[in-house]
Amino acid sequence: MSVFVEQRRPRCFPLTLIIDCCIPHTESVPEFLTNLRLSDLYNLPGESVSMNPEIFSAMRAGNRDFLEKMRSYGTPMACLKNDKGDSILHLAAALGHHKLVESIISECPSLLLEPNWKDQIPLHAAACAGRLAVVKTLVASITYFSARIISEEERGRFNVYVLKDIDGDTPLHAALKGRHMETALCLVNANKHGSFLENNEGISPLYMAVEAGGLALVKEMLKGVENNVQGHISNLASKLEGRKWLVHAALKAKNKDIIDAILNEEPSLVNERDEEGRTCLSFGAYVGYYKGVCNLLDRSTSYVFECNDDGSFPIHIAVDKGHVDVVKEILKRCPDSIELLNKKGQNILHIAARSGKARSSLLKFIKRLDKKKNHLIEEQDEDGNTPLHLATINWRARNVRDLTRFSSNAAKILKIQNKDGLRALDIAEVNLQSNYIFRERMTLMVLLYAYKPRGYKKIPITGMTLRSRSEVVDANKYKDRVNALLLVATLVATVTFAAGITVPGGFNGSGPDLGKAILAKNENFILFMIFDMVAMLSSLVAILALIWAQLGDPELVHKAFQYAFPFLSLALSSMSLAFYFGVLATTSDTSYFLLFVTNFIQRVFSCLLYFLLVYYTVTSPYIPGFLRCHWATDTSLRMLLRFVDEDDAETYHTSGSGQTSV
């Protein structure tokens, strides 16, 4: 075995803390401690010696018999260290070999205080791994020696429960990081003062226990709050180090009993704010913990009117996160909170309109409360934006539809301009990106539908909007779209041409009708031929229109889309019907069940085809005439809005100028 060149540094425990929880004498001493004296505890080893693989493996395996062999080496067992600075007691403790731990302590009690290179003593190792039996053994050993120390100062120096590693973690921190609640409770019962010490991250074990939802552990920790520290009144707020927003942690854990335990012990903690400056009630509204919010409101409704550091109020947070039950409870207890404005001058309907989590039910509820005055939906913030403006700026298509649909004064709202002189529709048109983003197209589509009675005969839905269609168009911008449509139209023309030549049922091979279709007089066959011809000719028209778009003239691009897409839509629909009637022509007399199934499938997929065509309409320059029907457009909008995902980007807003962003 090799000896490290560098001499071992002397270890000491410069604790300035005076322990307020002394360990009592035990009635019975564990057998493995009976022959030990207090002086053995300070019999520190000399130079560190590298632990060979044989010893390392034996300790990991919990081989107690190997200790006898180690005595013959002539090197003190207390000197052995692995490459991490762990002693044999560290290894045995971390792996839960409590019998081996007892044997090592009886041989080398000084290892109880021996840290590794991370300044972790064996109690850290056992607590981190959640080895309850080992922790109890170590606690019993520490209790044994502590009871034999007469000096209070020396006993404070021996309080290993408050020793911190390089991360500032005590053994109790280590246990709670691994969520080893029983192990943590054992350490708390041994010494409660460590519950209030912070680590390098400013987190105390009490905060961690609250965050983990350990009610029994929290109650046991709170028993450590006493009123006898140097003759001064001691309370939880003054004793607790690091993060003091325990109520926030309890709300996050959604544990009402822990909230009660904390506030009953220290009511002033309800006034603490977290690192983002949020009050307890605001944080409860943020996480949507209804019972916790009710608990805080039961204590005082004044918290509703306490502003966060960012200028928002609890009701704004609840609305932004879409927690309808919390919003209703706050408004039920404090109806006047509906008038609260944040620092941007925005009311709760502004917040709901811009939020991706606010649903129709929340908007309906707010507007129902506002139906007498009808001012929330018309109110403008410091930038002059109404809720409809903010919904448009953040591309909230569903919210835009709800605001324009449920308002009793929609005509007035649609005309309101912000400080830049822009209506909601103007904002959408100006800031619509040239590359395809579905939620932007849908927002503009909903707004145009709302403005439809004002004389819009055609509804442009591409980057060439009402405001910009007079501008010069870059033909390359639509090149990929033209090629995709051209490919589809070509495939439709090819398939329908082939179907018209090789008709269902085949041809007569003899007789006066030689070469004619066998099913020529069948009504379904006649319909098949009609729709097949319509599909082929419509696709040819679309192909020719798209070929014009390939010529490179920017002015032709828009016109090509205008003619190509309606004919391509007609071709796809006709091809579907041609296939349906072709199947009927060859199978209608075989089985009523087959006929029923065929008709059912056709109707279902016809509806799907219709809505998918409408879905693609959003990318076309003009909505076809058949969609200008009020019922068809409204139905299409409701179906298309199901495809809009607004939860994926809470901060998503228009890419326009700063004047229209939030």
State the pTM of this model.
0.75
pLDDT band at 460 (very low <50, low <70, confident <90, very high): very low
Separation CA 145–CA 405 (nearest Å): 77
Residues 6+ apart with CB under 8 A from 587: 594, 595, 598
Separation CA 585–CA 518 (nearest Å): 11
pLDDT band at 299 (very low <50, low <70, confident <90, very high): very high
Separation CA 63–CA 78 (nearest Å): 17
Amino acid at the residue 588 = S
260: pLDDT strictly greater than 90: yes
Q: Which region among 105-114, 358-367, 387-396, 575-584 has the lowest average model confidence (pLDDT)?
A: 358-367
Task: Give the model confidence (pLDDT) of 195-217 as tens digits.
Answer: 999 999 999 999 999 999 999 99
DSSP state letter for 148? T
- Residue 3's beta-bridge partner residues? 49
Task: Give the model confidence (pLDDT) of 134-164 as tens digits.
Answer: 999 999 999 888 888 777 777 766 789 999 9
Mean pLDDT of 219-229: 76
Amino acid at the residue 487 = L
Amino acid at the residue 154 = E
611: pLDDT strictly greater than 80: no
Which has the closest alpha carbon to 282: 307, 255, 246?
Answer: 307
Q: Give me the pLDDT at residue 619, please.
A: 45
Q: How far does the chain reach from its first CA to its final CA, in angstroms?
A: 68
Domains of the chain: 32-161 (1.25.40.20), 273-343 (1.25.40.20), 360-459 (1.25.40.20), 475-622 (1.20.140)
23: pLDDT strictly greater than 50: no
Residue reference for tokens 């192990």: 183
